[in-house]
Chain A
Amino acid sequence: MRFRLLPMFALTLAALAAGCGDDFASRSEILDYRVLGLEADPPEVGPGDSVRLTAHDLDPAGRPIEYAWTLCLYSVGPLVDFACADPALSFGLGGGATVELDLADYDLRGFAEALGGVPRADGTVATLTDGFDVFVVLESGPSAGPRTRSVKRVRVRDGGEPNRNPTAALRVSAERAAPGATVTLTVEPGPDARETFVDNEGGRATEELVYAWYSTGGALASALTYGDDTEVELELPTARGPVDVVLAVRDGRGGLTVQRRRIEVE
């Protein structure tokens, strides 16, 4: 990689920098229909288990939302828009903000054995013992508006200690406040939110939780809307009305919990 490493890295950094100086609305401002996370409960399952899939979305306009879920047993990945490697491996799961996925219906054990292992990006293959991902795709949006395409990986593994979704509580310093006031948002992770697990090198590691903050009005301190800060300040809008704040907590291994609170600006 000699000739491309440094330029590639520099371009990555330039791209990062380029995104900072524009006038785009921050990703933490929810101005239109948004999916803020797809939760699989549990996030890691055995090949014969069931999973409950939930779309955590928010539409400031409060319009009715349509959902269409699809399962893909093997996707080529993000470079090709998570295209399913073979149409025969794609299955509809129905509609609704929440659906049940029963993996026993798809013979994942036979699927993995037939392939001789599921290919990974680094050229190796994964067996059921190693664990591999199946992909859940959601097309959703207001009935009269554009659709949002969202993807969630569900780790399927035979044996081992399955991951669980983290737990956390979202607290606000005031549920009612004056226009333009500043409200402090705080996350309190649950006592067992940070699990320990066996990492790729075979050692024990502890999950690091990442917090993503959103609001439907006002301004969050932008540098803190994504990361490990447990406290964020929200400057409320000058217009009166409700402001929804949302916190998504991720454990970096597919685990997710989403919390919402409403603040009345009055």
Chain B
Amino acid sequence: MFVSLSKSDARRVSTRSALALLLVTVGLLARDAAAAEGTLTCPPELLEFVQAPYPPDAQAAGITGAVTLLLTIEADGAVSAVEVTEPAGHGFDEAALEAARAFVFRPAEIDGQPAPVQIAYRYAFTLAETPAVASTGALVVRLVERGTRKPLAAITVRAGDAEAVSDADGLVRFSALPEGTLRLEVRDPAFVTVEDRETIRAGEEVTVTWRLERTGFADDLEAVGRRPAKEVTRRTLSVQEVRTVPGTNGDALRVVQNLPGVARAPFGLGGLVLRGGGESRAYLEGHPIPTPFHFGLRSTVSTALIESIDLYPGNHGPEFGRGNGGIVDIRLRKPGRDGWHGYGEVDLFDAGAFLEAPVGEKGGIALGARRSYIDALVPLLLTDEQLDAFPVAPRYYDYQALYQTDLSGGHDLRLMAFGGGDRTVFLVEEPADTDPAVRGKADLELDWVGGQAEWGWRVAPDARHRLSAGYVFEAQRGALGKDLAFDYDMHRVTVRDDLEVKAAEWLTVRGGADLEVEHIRATVSLPPPTKDGETAAPVGATGVLKSDSTETWFMPAAWAELQLTWGDLTVLPGVRADYWTIVDALALQPRATARYAVTPATTVKGGVGLYSERPDLDEVDPVFGDPSVGLERSVHYSAGVEQRLGEYLTADLVGFYKDFDDLVTRTDDAEDGGTGFANQGEGRAYGLEALLRLENHPRVYGWVAYTLMRSERRDAPGDDWRLFGSDQTHNVTVVGNYKLSTTWELGLRWRFVSGNPYTPIDRGTYDSDADAYVPVPGASLSRRLEPFHQLDLRVDKHWIFDAWRMTTYLDVQNAYLRQNPEGVTYNFDFTEQAIIGGLPLIPSFGVRGEF
């Protein structure tokens, strides 16, 4: 990994010293193992240059020289050690050593966090008045990526016999080239080779700009913000992977569904069921996302704002809680650091635009918005029969504004505002025979608006503090016909305070507190909700329950974790305490993970931990449920091995077991009138996850993900075990993307997933008052649909211009026209059944222009 100092460093130096000229710095060496695993997200910046005295004897003799130093820069920016690696003699070495010790840097950042690094630094001593200067000239080459205009760092340029490396701003400086015509050349495996000639004139500086065209994937593949692994299972996706996985239309959260441990959602929709069950939560920088998906079609966070996505299917650390499932944590990037950029895009579903720009020297702002037009296109694209089967034509929009800046003294600030909405309206003119009373106009609407603020502070070289707060207002409204309706408003405030202190080389302490406060007003007229494995009865038979409530719930939590390192062994014991006022319950949840690097390429790992979640809100509602029910709990166990297989391949194999207890299930007590619940269920999910991944290759990326799992439960002691509704025995996903040339990419995704279990219906009982048949179910979730398999293809074509580029893509879902079963439907009296088919072949064409 090579970096250089920024242009501002060089400028500052040159203005302060006529004699000492900073030429170039090359090479950054990770100083410890932890840093080695991270990615340099910000190079060190020289803030205070100290001019070295020119050795008098050398000056008198007209001798110039350059000393190459190895500087150790601490996380606070101080230079703690200097070593001469290429001496120049004549007193230059001692002078450079003394001066460099007093340099002050803005610290480097690895994975966004200040970190100690080592850099090679060349301290040059030149004599401005020497006659040699008169016969040389200067050349500045500015390297940018063709199409995006992004500066290209760490690219070697050859000018005649001289070589230099571009800095973070893409600048390559040659200060003393001999007069005459020189051959210039850039040879880098990631870019098309460029050769040119330039005339150097004595005493003049020539500036040229070269636009380099990539031969492979962008650096995004590499710069995914990876942090040192400490969890048993954390899988990180890069933005490039998010953008081009076929069948996902570049949607951030839907790409996560292609990783091990994530159940396939029906009809290609969004949804997160991780390792068999329990509530899985999606976070944006540590704060829960109110509505992760637009009707399951799109995630509500713009991909343009995302740096990386971390998936924790289980055994996550104590910094997250309130769910028995897994975690998806989206991390935002710093916008506008290298100038104005933006894009506009249009595809089958929606159109969006994005713009980012620098604000000041250390800040940036980004604005994005998106609006769908499916509601206009669906009637044109589908047949009448398909429209009957999929009559919902959703309309959605979202917007985001993000500002981030680095402040002096090791502080940084991030502000974000966001909002969005979904709506669909249609007429159920011809009711289903199985529930004829449900008819009329259906109107569903969901709106949200909110914001986040985060203040980060490097308290000390080895201590970092992060305080953040979020607010969101969410309104859900829905109605169907005259009798069914809900109207629900929620204000949610979240606060997080996280502290990390590296107390010793072997000990890092993390801890924090977080609070979620929800104020909810709900007016509901709905039938009792069905639970996992249950079959919905006609509304006319069950009747409609009405509830009108206003509640405020507090959910405070505190957590702590130690990271103990002994050589290649890392152990992380931790604990989290959660309290829920809604059920007046405290949960103390110890958790621990361990990792041991058997060899540099092989790591074994394991973990165990307690997790808790509150019941569904209808289950504690006095009308729909039972306010006396309490927390559901689970214990996560996992163990596995990570293996690096050569330069590009990694393998990850994890076995897991999840033990559920106190599950809230329906009672059959007559006194409850059929809507009673109790913490009487138990469950278990166990299996194996395997991930073989190809990454960091210039032309190819992809993975093979396989999950073998069984998840089952019983709803009361003594009951038979039965499957969870999300149980999928085999889940295979193959994702591959190949860059054919600088302008063509091909991608595919193939999935094979065991069919979802379903509850058969044996017969119907005729309810004369409802004039409908009430289904009489057989054994819960005792049958399984045929397996799902589907191939999705994608081709991207880029047109690259000097200052912008255009990309078109064709994304074809279900390329070989598989009729995948997604459910079972019945006739009016449940004596006949038919399979509900999945999506037909869906070609999606998109255009994106970016600068």
Q: Using a CB–CB distance below 8 Å, which chain A residues touch chain B? A: 1-6, 8-10, 12-27, 35, 37-38, 74, 76-82, 85-86, 119-123, 148-153, 210, 212, 222-223, 226-227, 248, 250, 254, 256
On whether the beta carbons of A4 and B670 are closer than 8 Å, the reply is no
Other-chain residue from A3, A22, A81, A122 in contact with B617 (beta carbon distance below 8 A): A3
On whether the beta carbons of A86 and B670 are closer than 8 Å, the reply is yes
On whether the beta carbons of A16 and B432 are closer than 8 Å, the reply is yes
- Beyond the given A4-B617, A10-B392, A27-B433, please list 4 additional residue pairs across the A-B interface where CB-CB is below 8 A: A15-B434, A18-B432, A79-B666, A122-B546
On whether the beta carbons of B670 and A226 are closer than 8 Å, the reply is no
Distance in angstroms from B442 CB to nearest chain A CB is 6
On whether the beta carbons of B433 and A120 are closer than 8 Å, the reply is no
Q: Is B80 an interface residue (CB 8 A)?
A: no
Q: Is B622 an interface residue (CB 8 A)?
A: yes
In the complex, which residues of chain B have a beta carbon less than 8 angstroms from the beta carbon of A121? 528, 542-543, 545, 673-675
Chain B 590-626 interface mask (CB, 8 Å, partner A; 1/0): 0000000000000000000000000011100111101
5 nearest A-B residue pairs (beta carbon): A19-B432, A85-B670, A27-B828, A24-B827, A38-B768
Whole-angstrom CA separation of A81 from B476 in the bound complex? 33
On whether the beta carbons of A79 and B542 are closer than 8 Å, the reply is yes
On whether the beta carbons of B433 and A150 are closer than 8 Å, the reply is no
13 residue pairs from A and B, CB less than 8 Å apart: A2-B520, A4-B617, A10-B296, A15-B536, A18-B432, A18-B836, A35-B766, A79-B542, A82-B774, A121-B675, A149-B766, A151-B768, A226-B436
Binding-face segment, B136-144, B200-208, B382-390, B563-571:
B382-390
In the complex, which residues of chain B have a beta carbon less than 8 angstroms from the beta carbon of A27? 433, 436, 827-829
On whether the beta carbons of B430 and A123 are closer than 8 Å, the reply is no
On whether the beta carbons of B766 and A150 are closer than 8 Å, the reply is yes
On whether the beta carbons of A78 and B542 are closer than 8 Å, the reply is yes
Q: Is B295 an interface residue (CB 8 A)?
A: yes
Chain B 746-775 interface mask (CB, 8 Å, partner A; 1/0): 000000000000000001011111010010
Q: Is B439 an interface residue (CB 8 A)?
A: yes
Q: Using a CB–CB distance below 8 Å, which chain B residues touch chain A? A: 279, 295-296, 385-386, 388-392, 428-439, 442, 444, 446, 476, 478, 480, 484, 486, 488, 490, 518, 520, 522, 524, 526, 528-530, 534, 536-538, 541-543, 545-547, 616-618, 621-624, 626, 666, 668, 670-675, 763, 765-769, 771, 774, 776, 823, 825-829, 832, 834, 836
On whether the beta carbons of B673 and A122 are closer than 8 Å, the reply is yes
Whole-angstrom CA separation of A257 from B537 in the bound complex? 24
Whole-angstrom CA separation of A19 from B828 in the bound complex? 9
Distance in angstroms from B675 CB to nearest chain A CB is 5
Whole-angstrom CA separation of A81 from B766 in the bound complex? 10
Whole-angstrom CA separation of A4 from B534 in the bound complex? 15
Whether A16 contacts B435 in the complex (CB less than 8 A), given A27-B828, A76-B670, A123-B675, comes out as yes
In the complex, which residues of chain A have a beta carbon less than 8 angstroms from the beta carbon of B428? 13, 16
Nearest residue (CB) in A for B627 is A123
Other-chain residue from B429, B436, B670, B763 in contact with A119 (beta carbon distance below 8 A): B670
In the complex, which residues of chain B have a beta carbon less than 8 angstroms from the beta carbon of A37? 768, 771
In the complex, which residues of chain B have a beta carbon less than 8 angstroms from the beta carbon of A25? 827
On whether the beta carbons of A152 and B769 are closer than 8 Å, the reply is yes
Whole-angstrom CA separation of A227 from B427 in the bound complex? 14
In the complex, which residues of chain A have a beta carbon less than 8 angstroms from the beta carbon of B623? 122-123
Distance in angstroms from A83 CB to nearest chain B CB is 8
Whether A78 contacts B774 in the complex (CB less than 8 A), given A12-B480, A15-B536, comes out as yes
On whether the beta carbons of B536 and A12 are closer than 8 Å, the reply is yes
Whole-angstrom CA separation of A120 from B476 in the bound complex? 28
Whole-angstrom CA separation of A119 from B768 in the bound complex? 22
In the complex, which residues of chain A have a beta carbon less than 8 angstroms from the beta carbon of B626? 123
In the complex, which residues of chain A have a beta carbon less than 8 angstroms from the beta carbon of B836? 18
Whether A248 contacts B771 in the complex (CB less than 8 A), given A17-B391, A20-B430, A82-B765, comes out as yes
Other-chain residue from B392, B476, B675 in contact with A6 (beta carbon distance below 8 A): B476
On whether the beta carbons of B478 and A24 are closer than 8 Å, the reply is no
Nearest residue (CB) in A for B670 is A85
On whether the beta carbons of B385 and A21 are closer than 8 Å, the reply is yes
Distance in angstroms from B572 CB to nearest chain A CB is 30
In the complex, which residues of chain B have a beta carbon less than 8 angstroms from the beta carbon of A150? 765-768
Whole-angstrom CA separation of A20 from B434 in the bound complex? 10
Whole-angstrom CA separation of A17 from B390 in the bound complex? 6
In the complex, which residues of chain A have a beta carbon less than 8 angstroms from the beta carbon of B534? 79
Other-chain residue from A18, A19, A226, A254 in contact with B769 (beta carbon distance below 8 A): A254
Whether A81 contacts B765 in the complex (CB less than 8 A), given A13-B442, A212-B771, comes out as yes
On whether the beta carbons of A123 and B478 are closer than 8 Å, the reply is no
Whole-angstrom CA separation of A201 from B776 in the bound complex? 33
In the complex, which residues of chain B have a beta carbon less than 8 angstroms from the beta carbon of A35? 766, 768
Nearest residue (CB) in B for A150 is B766
On whether the beta carbons of A18 and B823 are closer than 8 Å, the reply is yes
Distance in angstroms from A31 CB to nearest chain B CB is 11
